[in-house]
Amino acid sequence: MIILQNLTKVVRSGTEDLTILDDVSLEIPDGQFVAVTGASGSGKSTLLGLIAGLDSPTSGTILVDDENITEMDEDGLAALRSEKIGFVFQSFHLIPSLTAFENILIPMEILGLRDARERAEKLLEDVELTDRGHHYPSELSGGEQQRVAIARAFANQPKILLADEPTGNLDSKNGNHIFDLMTDLHDRHHVTLVLVSHDLQLAGRAQRQVILKDGRIISDEKT
């Protein structure tokens, strides 16, 4: 269960303060697929980053499985992400010096899993990249890179999968493929999936749709 209470995020922009999230409260039950949509600059990615503990709010609290992550230090947050959260980025963010296989392996090695290699092979198979595992990110297409990123996000069998515009850098065919892959994995592994997208058609396929505007939730509906 993810609970956001009165979340506000203010950043400094030049000499002025800019409010990105303004008193946002939200509850996401376990296993739910939520799509967060909104215009550019509405605060979608920031919201996702705060849930993942990639950044800290100016005020408010975030509870993940009853743990207040706003009170955690860097290493505590890293441990939380390692154990419970998977993240997929718009621009993939694979480590360029590692092969596709090694990129999937990394989270499991961080956690110290013994059967990491076998699981990485299985994940490669799940995203249909068995024969591309030894390739470096620069040798893969955008779609392939995002599939590797999804496999990496699922590596530690997280309870929560956060995806920030995962199809934003892909053509529609590849975008649909990636979306199907994520929903399929969501269904199979019963993870909580929070998807940020401005593609309303894709967002419409989620169980719940939250719309942000100027840092505030203007709509929260089940679809």
Residues lying near other proteins in the complex (CB under 8 A) = 45-46, 48-49, 52, 54-55, 74-75, 78-83, 87, 89, 93-98, 102, 105-107, 109-112, 152, 156, 164
Nearer to other proteins, 93 or 189 (CB): 93
Shortest spacing between CB 122 and other proteins, in angstroms: 18
Shortest spacing between CB 192 and other proteins, in angstroms: 17
CB-CB contact of 219 with 45 (8 Å): no
CB-CB contact of 159 with 1 (8 Å): no
Length of the chain: 223
Nearer to other proteins, 94 or 205 (CB): 94
Nearer to other proteins, 88 or 202 (CB): 88
Nearer to other proteins, 95 or 218 (CB): 95
Shortest spacing between CB 56 and other proteins, in angstroms: 9
Shortest spacing between CB 219 and other proteins, in angstroms: 23
Give the whole-angstrom CA distance, residue 24 versus residue 32. Answer: 19
Shortest spacing between CB 205 and other proteins, in angstroms: 24
Nearer to other proteins, 101 or 179 (CB): 101
